Amino acid sequence: MATPCAEEDPLSRYRSPLVSRYASAEMAFNFSERKKFGTWRRLWLYLALAEKSLGLPITDEQIKEMEANLDNIDFKMAAEEEKKLRHDVMAHVHTFAHCCPKAAAIIHLGATSCYVGDNTDLIVLRDGFNLLLPKLARVISRLADFAEAHADLPTLGFTHYQPAQLTTVGKRCCLWIQDLCMDLQNLERTRDDLRFRGVKGTTGTQASFLQLFEGDHSKVEELDRLVTAKAGFKRSYMVTGQTYSRKVDIGVLSVLASLGASVHKICTDIRLLANLKEIEEPFEKEQIGSSAMPYKRNPMRSERCCSLARHLMTLVLDPLQTASVQWFERTLDDSANRRVCLAEAFLTADIILSTLQNISEGLVVYPKVIDRRIRQELPFMATENIIMAMVKAGGNRQVAKFLKEEVRPALIPYQGKMGGKIELTL
C-alpha cells in the first residue's frame, strides 16, 4: 500500500488522541503553539515596557509596533528560521522582529531563552489549573446532589469486596466526594503556590540586567517586580538557575496524579456496581454495548476514566527523574521531556474530569436489586447483633463469636428469605 504524502492527507499523520479524541478545546488551546508563541511575544512586550519605565531608551513607537503584532505570527517563517538557526527562541525573535522592524533592536533585550520559555510554562500551568478547578468543582457538586438524593437508601457495604455491614448509597458516594475535595484543595494550593520565574538572566544572577542598568541593583529588582505583576503573578522565585527549579513540576504533576488515583477508585467502584447491576453509568438510547452481545451494558465511560487515569498517574515519574539530573544551573535534557509530560498531564486530567461529570450527572440506581442483595446477606449480618445481645445478657464475646461461626452454616438455607425486621430475644 502506497504511503500518502502528509501534505495531501492530514489524516496520514499521527495525532495525539488526547487532543483529537478527548480533551476540551480550551485545554488543547492552552498547550497550543499559538498560545505558547503569543505568550512569548507578550512577555517581550512586558519586558520592553518595564525597561522603558525604568529609563532605558525605548520609544513609544517601538512599543506600539510590538503591541500591534502580538498575534501576527508567521509560523511558516518561524519554522524556516528554526531549521536554519536550530534555536526556537531566536527563530521567533527574528520572526517578531521581521514584522516589528522599528522595535527589532530592543526585542528580548538582556533576556535569556528561559525568560520566555520558563515564564510561559508557568503561565500555561497556572491557566491549566484554572481550567481544571471549575470542572472538578462541578463533579463534586453533581456527586453531592446524587449523595443527598440517595442518603437514606440502604445498600450492602463491602470490605475486601466481601459483604459487610450496611451503608447507604449516599454515604458511599460521600467517600468519593471526600477524596475529590482533597484533590480540589491540593490543586488550588499548588496553583496558588506557583511563582513567576521573572527576569533572572542566564544563570539566575541577573548580570546582564545589571549591565543594562549600569549596576543599579534597585532598578534590576524593580524590573523583576514589574514584569511579574504584568504577567499576573504576585511573586517570583527568589532563587533560580537558568530555569526555575524543576521540583515545581514534580509538585504540579503529583497533585494531578493524585487526582487520577481518586478518579480511578471512583470509576472502579462504579464498574463493580455495574457488574452487580446495582448502579450504572449513563447508557444512551442507541448506544451499543457489544458488537456480538447486544444485551451487554459495558461501563465504557468509567473504563475510559480508569484507562486515562493510569496514564496520568505514571506521568509524575518524568519530572521526578528530570529534577534529579539537572546539573548545576541547568542542562537541556529537561526540554523535550517537559514538552510531553506537562501537556499530557493536564490534557488527561481535563478529559477524565469531563467524563466523570457526564457519569455523575446520569448515574442510574436500581433499588430492587440493592434490596434483594441485602436480603440475601441479612441472616449473616444479623449474627453481629446476636453477639452483642448475648454479651449484654452476660455472655462472653469470644464464646459468642465462636457460636457465630457455628451458626453461619445453619443460616445458609434461609439466605434471601428473611425479610422484615428482626427482633432479637435471648
Q: Could you give the count of Cα atoms lying within 13 Å of 256 in the half-sphere of its Cβ?
A: 34
Give the tens place of pLDDT for each residue, 358-387.
999 999 999 999 999 999 988 777 777 777
Q: What is the pLDDT of residue 423?
A: 42
Q: 364-380: b or e for each residue (b if 16 or more CB lie within 10 Å)?
A: ebeeeebbebbbebbbb
Q: What is the pLDDT of residue 9?
A: 73
Higher pLDDT, 205 or 9: 205
Single-letter amino acid, residue 284: E
Q: Percentage of the chain with pLDDT > 90? A: 78
Model confidence band, residue 224 (pLDDT cutoffs 50, 70, 90): very high
DSSP string, 332-367: GGGHHHHHHHHHHHHHHHHHHHHHHHHHHTS-EE-H
Give the tens place of pLDDT for each residue, 143-164.
999 999 999 999 999 999 999 9
Q: What is the CATH number of domain 114-284+296-365?
A: 1.20.200.10
* Distance separating alpha carbons of residues 318 and 152, to the nearest angstrom: 45
**CATH number assigned to the domain with residue range 25-111, chosen from the 4 options 3.30.230.10, 3.40.50.1820, 1.10.275.10, 1.10.3720.10:** 1.10.275.10
Residue 415 has pLDDT above 60, yes or no: no
Higher pLDDT, 171 or 391: 171
Residue 414 has pLDDT above 80, yes or no: no
Average of per-residue pLDDT across 155-183: 96
Residue 290 has pLDDT above 60, yes or no: no
160 counts as catalytic? yes
Residue 421 has pLDDT above 50, yes or no: no
Q: Which of 1-15, 29-43, 143-157 has the lowest mean pLDDT?
A: 1-15
- Angle at which helices 33-53 and 60-68 pack, to 10 degrees? 170
Whether the CB-CB separation of 249 and 338 falls below 8 Å is answered with yes
Higher pLDDT, 290 or 378: 378
108 counts as catalytic? no
Q: What is the pLDDT of residue 419?
A: 52
* Distance separating alpha carbons of residues 282 and 280, to the nearest angstrom: 6
Q: What is the pLDDT of residue 144?
A: 96
Residue 217 has pLDDT above 80, yes or no: yes
State the chain's mean pLDDT as an integer: 90
Q: What is the pLDDT of residue 422?
A: 40
Average of per-residue pLDDT across 235-247: 96
Average of per-residue pLDDT across 255-279: 97
Average of per-residue pLDDT across 40-50: 98
* Distance separating alpha carbons of residues 408 and 213, to the nearest angstrom: 86
Residue 274 has pLDDT above 90, yes or no: yes
Q: What is the pLDDT of residue 297?
A: 76
Give the start-to-end residue ranges of the domains of the chain: 25-111, 114-284+296-365, 369-414
Q: Which of 141, 290, 307, 324 is catalytic?
A: 290
